[in-house]
Structure 1
């Protein structure tokens, strides 16, 4: 059935597409053909200024006629009309005399292309696609998946690579938390993301370790227009877990100074699943009322930013805090217990066991613009504090509860200092060089009556250089090199309680010492040199090609080097290996795109080769720890990853919009014994998403009204890693209706959507709960109301 659904989905590729916002970019020069730095560009209610290369870019421009104004002190103003049907590139020369106002019709001007394979979305997209968490809200994009961890937490996966192989940055600073854990989410406020770029392929040159699979770059530094005040109030409600929430933001700018304030509060109950029981450690656990007990939670987020801007200097200071607390389903935590899942009559309480995470971040970014160059300096501090609370229980008869916080099972407190310096020089309109240096220091402390991750410190420094060469209006080349060095010091942790327990049960001192030494003193240094080259080529007004090839790397984490104990969140005994080397690989990525009139298509094949991919391998040796099961050892192997993505978008008759996205991924280990060339873990199956919408004619009250239907199909995933389960294929369907509503001076945007409309029982192969036979959430009806106020505009 799933194969037939997938085939039907493929057949839709011939002529289906969706609507996206337009972008205007270009270059401003003076009569001597030299770039003008600081020229002001005004389009509708948006504005910006050219950079030292004379270039500018303004996004989210609606189709149709729009007025463009270019002004610069000492030059005559350019005032013209553009008819926008797609992304365009323009160039203007500032002259002493003014031209008459005229209409310019441009569909897709020839322009140098970026060498990156990337997807860009704005705040409206994130909000309209909101699915409970930031990573889950990006799943409609080609190549992007999410590993779900309950109803409000998830972590991103790009082309099957996640955890510490994906770099997530906010305002240029890499988000640092407990990314290694399958049960640890990404602490990002989805409603605070103003602009997001997903870079696929080679990302290690500018971002360093953890960017092997790609980069998700969040930018919250859009500058409000002078003398403006605006904001937005948002309310959200969801049926699947009775979510209620709100997010409010304001921004103000007088002249040079500006500020932004944003806050989000979400409260949700236990979430519903279309099943009556699950299987945990060979025990059938009932799910009463098809609701997972103790999965309720709450989230409270804050973001504040103050800034200063003039023609030569820009500075921002951003402070954010994300707090999240949610329960763990007691039927899938610790020793199986049917009594623990009995309905308590309260679907909003958070009892033991639960997790509590707080992520605090402060970032200062500074930018100086000179005649032909630009200097950026950034410094940041962030603290990720994660706790797991569970009623004190012990697997050892001699272990006593701690006197303080006896129910605190695990406590990780990671502090990160980051400093960056980047200098960009424009040799000419055609040549631009960027050099940078980055330094990061981390310190992690631990607490709790269980042990998983040791205390450690880490210091890393990296330097890079990137050169961009615009050969012509159609061809752009890019090359980069990078060198990194990191030092990690891991503290020894000896579990005397465990040692006494094992020797008291007849184990030899040598065996007891092996298991009780949960972490050894480790002091290691790593280094890596990497390079990449890229090309962007515009064949004609319709066809574009980008291609990148380069090396990448990732330094081993503390958990991979030194773990030795039961990871209850992953349901197994994990053991590190202090001899692990840095992961290294080569990536090739290309994207061929076609755009004409109201049709867009893109085909993006890729291939990654890793010389020493780090993964958890079943050792075949069973742990002597109580309820330890088989030991999973961190190991290394050659690995191959390849696949492709296809996306199609089309508009019919100016009323019907449609979109299809397909993706296929193949990977495996590469060993001397081909019978052991297992697939890599958390590999998304071949899957596709489609959506068809109808745009209604506007009225006095309702404008931009759209009704849509959508569906997602995934094939069976039977190419599985050694410790995974085969995941059946599925097809689910949904829909939405949204519109702007105007009553006098009051304006609001309302969206009502439904996901998994037929309450289908299906499994996400990448879900944290997949191993427990817990299906994805059931039918969900979501209401989103956005009310803007003031006059919003950004430079």
Structure 2
């Protein structure tokens, strides 16, 4: 009886104690990224030792209710920051601002830690400004080639554009601050007019998951975000210098930032100058013609680049806005053997490796972007992006005529081709978070383009183009381990092309005995043309996690409008030694794509396998005909055609850290594609397909404190490429090769800031090799010789 009574008394005491303890307190927090001051959306906040889990909203805010007095610990996780264990003393209702340390992991898809998943099914790779600066090679595309599935299409040492999964040109979108880059993407000899050193954050989005970015994103998207506020209040900045031995590159980039409570401003200037680049060869053979390479320097491949970027922004609680201005100027020479008939006289040294003579290309790209974010409430946001771009591209060559009666123009007589493209963009997107489970994005966009031409040669007609689109995406988060996503998009496009009649060509053909009908057909280089296109696309994706595995699957349709060059080109494209002709009756590309990514991840090991397949009902490509063109010095006639096609492949990446200091990485890519025609003998592979390749790197980081080796990393790498014998008509078989490189990174303290010096050697053994996607491959010109590169970064 006494025992029972004692138990009852103890129970009553405990009950009174619990009732006396207040468990109705609330802890509220605001999460921000200490790197840029931006709110951290959809961060996961766990109360350690309990099953309480909440998420931050659009403002980075969260609340945890029904807390008792005493000390608790929160585990806070976000994909772009380091995990944080945050202690809190609960003595009443409390509100705090919590900053997380910025920690993007290069070459690793962004995933939430633990048993949670990222908030999107996008198949993406995320890289930071630090990664791009450390890997900078002179252009953005070549600086990203360590990423799975990413290759570069190059023109010499300073001009390049991206290829994703074997798809390039107008099948890859480059989006900066929500506005798609608009230039002359259709040409293999045209670069990407963008300052790589101005990039603050970049995502490579692949496959059907890029449905929000338009019809040109079949291959993927390079999504660039330069709209981040500086990390620190006050004035800050950085100076970066670069030097390369292979073409005597000298350059640098300087940026300065200012940030206060509500305002920020940034400015950057970049300049590069480079000379004719070195080759591991003294002779090349083009069209069975031996051309000497004097001093192993490829004549007239020098160039220069001058870029500037400025941005100002306002940071309000319910409204954020920024205005960005940028200008990229590039001038680079073409190897004289790439234009016209090769001759030894034209490749004789001129005594100045930095001289840019004829022929050369010059491009200026001006861009104005306005980004606006309206935070309606905790669950709704409106984004309005406006853009203006002016792309002015020219090719200059000493006036030459293929027709006896053509006189040089009175103004700019050596201007061969001139493309003057103006683009206006508007994009509006509404983001609505209905609950922790359901989020919807609804958007509309419009684009208008006007392209004018000049020059004594003709390739592309003048045109106007309009594009309108509406899209909707919805995400359903069933649990922390399962997420479904649906995407819908409708595109409408209109192209109006002007006619162009070539009287000089008409007279030339008559003088050569052609009939009036034939002469008139050829002289009508571009007919008056007006085409309308429309298409509906759908995407379904799912993301699933269990233990250490993540599965990301997407399936859907794709669509691409034919470009003006595919519809209306009709002229000699120098460097390719052929007559390229468009087809005004082309239909839009349509197809289907499936994408599967499986990831296994532990604290020191990440393995990822990503198979994919594309099927096209009517893939557009440049196909050789069985006739030679009647245009003088034009060679074979190539015509834009359509065919069923299949493209498949698999990307594999492995990362492993040993002993916390030895870092290893392997990235491999296998590609297979083929045209599917009614004639099996003509089922050639698709053009400009990168060879199967593997990249491997081993690096060792010294952790010795207070020694000369502190903050030091040494590494060695190799890139192995198989022979590319699966080639399109008109292409050359490209032998396989293996390249090796070494590098040293050293951090040091300068003016109380962490500075970095990076020394690297590429093509260590001066290997002569060819890159299948290079513009100069057709001329049998090998890639660059051994290169020693030094970069220095000094923040302030």
Regarding TM over 0.5, the answer is: yes
CA contact (8 A) 1:585 1:608 kept: yes
Among 438, 457, 474, the alignment partner of 2:464 is 457
Q: 1:646 to 1:34 in 2, by over 3 A?
A: farther
Q: Distance between the aligned counterparts of 1:227 and 1:713, measured in 2?
A: 46
State the 1:229 CA deviation.
Answer: 2.1
Question: Is the counterpart of residue 161 in structure 1 residue 170 in structure 2?
Answer: no
State the 1:704 CA deviation.
Answer: 2.1
Tell me the residue number matched to 2:211.
205
Calculate the aligned-residue CA RMSD, in Å: 2.9
Question: Is the counterpart of residue 376 in structure 1 residue 383 in structure 2?
Answer: yes
State the 1:703 CA deviation.
Answer: 3.4
Q: 1:171 to 1:55 in 2, by over 3 A?
A: farther
Tell me the residue number matched to 1:777.
784
CA contact (8 A) 1:182 1:570 kept: no
Q: Distance between the aligned counterparts of 1:125 and 1:662, measured in 2?
A: 20
State the 1:49 CA deviation.
Answer: 1.9
Among 30, 41, 63, the alignment partner of 2:31 is 41
Tell me the residue number matched to 1:739.
746
- How many residues get paired? 741
State the 1:254 CA deviation.
Answer: 1.3
Deviates more, 1:201-210 or 1:451-460: 201-210
Q: Aligned with 2:208: secondary structure?
A: coil
Q: 1:554 to 1:86 in 2, by over 3 A?
A: closer
Q: Distance between the aligned counterparts of 1:32 and 1:268, measured in 2?
A: 68
Q: Distance between the aligned counterparts of 2:43 and 2:758, measured in 1?
A: 40
Tell me the residue number matched to 1:281.
287
| Stretches of structure 1 lacking an aligned partner (at least 5 in a row) | 1-30, 57-69, 790-795
Q: Distance between the aligned counterparts of 1:134 and 1:252, measured in 2?
A: 26
Per-residue CA deviations over 1:500-549 (Å, capped at 9, x if unaligned) read: 11112221111111111110000010001000000111112x11010000
Q: 1:471 to 1:310 in 2, by over 3 A?
A: same
State the 1:569 CA deviation.
Answer: 3.7
State the 1:281 CA deviation.
Answer: 3.0
CA contact (8 A) 1:294 1:327 kept: yes
TM-score by length of 1: 0.89
Q: Aligned with 2:277: secondary structure?
A: coil
Q: 1:560 to 1:377 in 2, by over 3 A?
A: same
Question: Is the counterpart of residue 724 in structure 1 residue 736 in structure 2?
Answer: no
Q: Aligned with 1:778: secondary structure?
A: coil
State the 1:431 CA deviation.
Answer: 0.2
- The structure with the largest alpha-carbon Rg is 2
Per-residue CA deviations over 1:311-370 (Å, capped at 9, x if unaligned) read: 211101000000000111112211211101011111011111111000000000100112
Per-residue CA deviations over 1:25-53 (Å, capped at 9, x if unaligned) read: xxxxxx999998xx5325766643244x6
Tell me the residue number matched to 2:542.
535
Among 679, 684, 690, the alignment partner of 1:684 is 690
CA contact (8 A) 1:126 1:137 kept: yes
Q: 1:32 to 1:271 in 2, by over 3 A?
A: farther
CA contact (8 A) 1:204 1:553 kept: no
CA contact (8 A) 2:154 2:773 kept: yes
Tell me the residue number matched to 1:109.
114
Question: Is the counterpart of residue 325 in structure 1 residue 325 in structure 2?
Answer: no
Q: Distance between the aligned counterparts of 1:780 and 1:366, measured in 2?
A: 44
Q: Distance between the aligned counterparts of 1:266 and 1:50, measured in 2?
A: 36
Deviates more, 1:577-586 or 1:564-573: 564-573
CA contact (8 A) 1:280 1:332 kept: no
State the 1:209 CA deviation.
Answer: 1.4
Q: Aligned with 1:511: secondary structure?
A: helix
Q: Distance between the aligned counterparts of 1:490 and 1:233, measured in 2?
A: 46
Q: Aligned with 2:388: secondary structure?
A: strand
CA contact (8 A) 1:87 1:107 kept: no
Tell me the residue number matched to 1:793.
none
Q: Aligned with 1:754: secondary structure?
A: strand
Q: 1:82 to 1:588 in 2, by over 3 A?
A: closer
Question: Is the counterpart of residue 430 in structure 1 residue 420 in structure 2?
Answer: no
Deviates more, 1:270-279 or 1:701-710: 701-710
Question: Is the counterpart of residue 578 in structure 1 residue 584 in structure 2?
Answer: yes
State the 1:83 CA deviation.
Answer: 11
CA contact (8 A) 1:204 1:552 kept: no
Q: Aligned with 1:695: secondary structure?
A: strand
Tell me the residue number matched to 1:615.
621
Q: Distance between the aligned counterparts of 2:490 and 2:213, measured in 1?
A: 11
TM-score by length of 2: 0.89
Among 697, 700, 705, the alignment partner of 2:712 is 705
Question: Is the counterpart of residue 258 in structure 1 residue 264 in structure 2?
Answer: yes
Q: Aligned with 1:164: secondary structure?
A: helix
CA contact (8 A) 2:77 2:84 kept: no
Moved over 4 A (4+): 31-36, 42-47, 53-56, 70-100
Among 423, 427, 433, the alignment partner of 1:416 is 423
Tell me the residue number matched to 1:18.
none
Q: Aligned with 2:140: secondary structure?
A: coil
Correspondence list, 1:183-332, <5 A: 183-225=189-231, 227-332=233-338
State the 1:672 CA deviation.
Answer: 2.1
